[in-house]
Amino acid sequence: MSIKNASIHGQWSSRWGFMLAAIGSAVGLGNIWRFPYLVGENGGGIFVLVYLACVLLVGIPIMIAEILLGRRGRQNPVNTMQSLANQESLSRHWGLLGWMGVGAGFIIVSYYSVIAGWTLAYIFRVGAGVFVDADVLVAKQVFVTLISDPEKLLAWHTIFIMLAVIVIARGVEKGLENTVKILMPMLFFLLLLMVAYAMSTEKFFEGLHYLFIPNQEHLANKDFFSDILLPALGQAFFSLSIGMGAIMAYGSYLSNKTSIVFSCFTIAIADTVVALLAGIAIFPIVFTYGLEPASGPGLIFMTLPIAFGQMPFGTFFGCLFFILLLFAAWTSAISLLEPAVAWAVENCNISRIKATAWVGILAWLFGLLTVLSLNHWAFSFQFAGVVKENGLFDLFDIVASNFLLPLGGLLIAVFAGWFMRKQSTLAELDIGNGWVYQCWYFAIRYIAPLGLLIIFLNAVGLF
Ligand code: PHE
């Protein structure tokens, strides 16, 4: 059992309250925007298969460890790691792990907010009927016009940061639970509707085939480690919200009675199902309309509106879809900032509202870099065998999700598997020393750290 019973920031009202908040954090732009475009850029069915393996073998064990640490420490990630290290008679430098997470959260939220801004913009474009009977050219044109206009991007980015700040300022429980309880199931149903539309297109099976059947051809000119495994691993961390303390902070508000293992499986399954549904909805449209699967970050903004333009009541459903996507992004952005806000409240002796305002301003400022990198400051470079055209934005995304999050995950695994006493993890998970615990313990001690290490060493070119 945890040493402390509750965090000073409050606690989830029930097990479902926590689960919904964690699902709200996990399900977001990562599933619907990022997953499909990475599948398209990095090897189709092979990428999907490797991604699923990463979620199961590395993602879930690390999520369990991260929540376990959060609940045992009951503070923000920096202080949690320091005090756990203290309890286990280890160096206070473990607090750096928390700092790394706070930093990664800032980097991610800075561009996350800009992409969420695209979503906001699309609510109005789809709602105004811009895409009725539109073809690929129109869809591309609308997207390119939007991202070439820094003023518009800035305005949407600003609105989104303000939305996030309002919810965080209200506190974790009040601000979050209700939003997620109603809107997440609605998003799920709309995705099913999109899948139904995809089934009516000519190339439905081609899309499914592309997603689920690994094809040697997609490996052509690609290096398995750096072009498929590394981005798939990064996506698993990004999508599950692990490796940066977001889920650790949520774990610190979790009651001692809730089962961590059961919750983690539920969260991971929900997250994965949403990502796969998004893929099933998008790729048939990509093939039917002759789009390029490797169209990059604009992929869903250039495909889904075409579908809405064709289907009955498309303007209504399209508008609703982007509204729900906005909510999904909103509940994720909150968790990206929560570690920083909790840190400021605990260490700077300021109110939650003030802390949120400062964190919000910083995140907003950072976001300006992404806004400009999509137009005036754009430059291109190559990563994972793909040409990236949006300079700093792509760079932030790559550094945070492919390096900082997995590195955070590696340290979490090493801490929970090797440095913490076994009796501490046994007590906190509270599931006895049976096969479930043994499997987790093996994964967190060997599979996750070794897997991550091999991928890292490869990424820096050591073999
Ligand atoms: N998981 C979120 C998404 O898929 C993004 C996120 C990453 C949130 C890391 C918190 C921490 O959109």
pLDDT the model gives residue 369: 94
Tokens of 44: 């189709």
Instruction: Compute CA 427 distance to the chain's CA centroid, rounded to the nearest angstrom.
Output: 29
Which residues have CB under 8 Å from 211's CB, separation 6+? 39, 44, 45, 48, 276, 279, 280, 283
Q: Is the CB of 274 within 6 Å of ligand 1?
A: no
Task: Tell me if 301 sits within 8 A of 136, measured CB to CB.
Answer: no
Kindly give the number of the ligand 1 atom that is closest to the alpha carbon of 28: 12
Question: In the predicted model, what is the mean pLDDT of residues 35-43?
Answer: 94
Kindly give the number of the ligand 1 atom that is closest to the alpha carbon of 333: 8
Which residues have CB under 8 Å from 130's CB, separation 6+? 138, 142, 305
Which residues have CB under 8 Å from 144's CB, separation 6+? 298
pLDDT the model gives residue 243: 96
**Spatial distance between the Cα atoms of 412 and 405, rounded to a whole number of angstroms:** 10
**Spatial distance between the Cα atoms of 43 and 216, rounded to a whole number of angstroms:** 9
Question: Which of 241, 244, 397 to mutate to test ligand 1, by most ligand atoms within 8 A of the CB atom?
Answer: 241
Phi-psi group of 379: left, alpha or beta (phi > 0 → left; psi -120 to 50 → alpha; rest → beta): beta
Q: Is the CB of 108 within 6 Å of ligand 1?
A: yes
- By alpha-carbon position, which residue is closest to atom 11 of ligand 1? 241
Task: Looking at 27-149, list the stretches that DSSP marks H as alpha helix, in order from N- to C-terminal side.
Answer: 29, 35-41, 44-54, 60-73, 77-87, 95-127, 136-147
SS3 label, residue 10 = strand
Nearest 10 degrees: Cα torsion 239, 232, 363, 407: 100
**Spatial distance between the Cα atoms of 246 and 100, rounded to a whole number of angstroms:** 12
Spatial CA neighbour of 162 closest among 418, 369, 368, 363: 363
Tokens of 288: 């039917």
SS3 label, residue 229 = helix
- pLDDT of 167 > 90? The answer is no
Question: In the predicted model, what is the mean pLDDT of residues 77-83?
Answer: 96
pLDDT in tens, 128-162: 999 999 999 999 999 999 999 999 999 999 999 99
CA distances from 88 to 244, 420, 425 (A): 21, 6, 11
**Spatial distance between the Cα atoms of 44 and 113, rounded to a whole number of angstroms:** 27
In the structure, what pLDDT confidence band is assigned to residue 1 with cuts at 50, 70 and 90? very low
CA distances from 192 to 187, 311, 379, 412, 429 (A): 9, 14, 37, 36, 35
Task: Tell me if 319 sits within 8 A of 126, measured CB to CB.
Answer: yes
SS3 label, residue 209 = helix
pLDDT in tens, 239-250: 999 999 999 999
**From the CA of 288, how far away is ligand 1's center (Å)?**
30
**From the CA of 240, how far away is ligand 1's center (Å)?**
6
| Backbone angles phi and psi of 381, in degrees to 5 | -155, 175
Tokens of 214: 């690994």
Q: Is the CB of 400 within 6 Å of ligand 1?
A: no
Tokens of 429: 């998970």
Q: Rounded mean pLDDT of the chain?
A: 92
**From the CA of 311, how far away is ligand 1's center (Å)?**
31
pLDDT in tens, 387-404: 999 999 999 999 999 999
pLDDT in tens, 276-331: 999 999 999 999 988 889 889 999 999 999 988 988 888 998 998 999 899 899 99
pLDDT the model gives residue 3: 55
pLDDT the model gives residue 42: 92
pLDDT in tens, 354-392: 999 999 999 999 999 999 999 999 999 998 888 999 999
In the structure, what pLDDT confidence band is assigned to residue 16 with cuts at 50, 70 and 90? confident
**From the CA of 410, how far away is ligand 1's center (Å)?**
18
Q: Looking up tokens 């690929």, which residue turns up?
A: 136
Q: Is the CB of 236 within 6 Å of ligand 1?
A: no
In the structure, what pLDDT confidence band is assigned to residue 175 with cuts at 50, 70 and 90? low
Question: Which of 335, 338, 402 to mutate to test ligand 1, by most ligand atoms within 8 A of the CB atom?
Answer: 335
pLDDT in tens, 413-424: 999 999 999 999
pLDDT in tens, 189-232: 889 988 999 999 999 999 999 999 998 888 888 888 888 999 99
Q: pTM of this prediction?
A: 0.94
Task: Tell me if 249 sits within 8 A of 338, measured CB to CB.
Answer: yes
Q: Is the CB of 110 within 6 Å of ligand 1?
A: no
DSSP secondary structure code for residue 128 in this structure: T
Task: Tell me if 106 sits within 8 A of 365, measured CB to CB.
Answer: no
Q: Got the DSSP string for 265-325?
A: HHHHHHHHHHHHHHHHHHHHHHHHTT--TT-GGGHHHHHHHHHHHHSTTHHHHHHHHHHHH
Q: Is the CB of 2 within 6 Å of ligand 1?
A: no
Other beta carbons less than 10 A from residue 355's beta carbon: 23
In the structure, what pLDDT confidence band is assigned to residue 461 with cuts at 50, 70 and 90? confident
pLDDT the model gives residue 4: 67
Kindly give the number of the ligand 1 atom that is closest to the alpha carbon of 26: 1
Spatial CA neighbour of 261 closest among 426, 74, 52: 426
Which residues have CB under 8 Å from 36's CB, separation 6+? 278, 279, 282, 283, 299, 300
Question: Which of 25, 27, 180, 237 to mutate to test ligand 1, by most ligand atoms within 8 A of the CB atom?
Answer: 25
Task: Tell me if 274 sits within 8 A of 31, measured CB to CB.
Answer: yes
Q: Is the CB of 331 within 6 Å of ligand 1?
A: no
- By alpha-carbon position, which residue is closest to atom 10 of ligand 1? 241
Question: Which of 180, 239, 273 to mutate to test ligand 1, by most ligand atoms within 8 A of the CB atom?
Answer: 239
pLDDT the model gives residue 222: 85
Task: Tell me if 274 sits within 8 A of 443, measured CB to CB.
Answer: no
Q: What percent of the chain has pLDDT over 70?
A: 98
**From the CA of 236, how far away is ligand 1's center (Å)?**
10
Kindly give the number of the ligand 1 atom that is closest to the alpha carbon of 33: 12
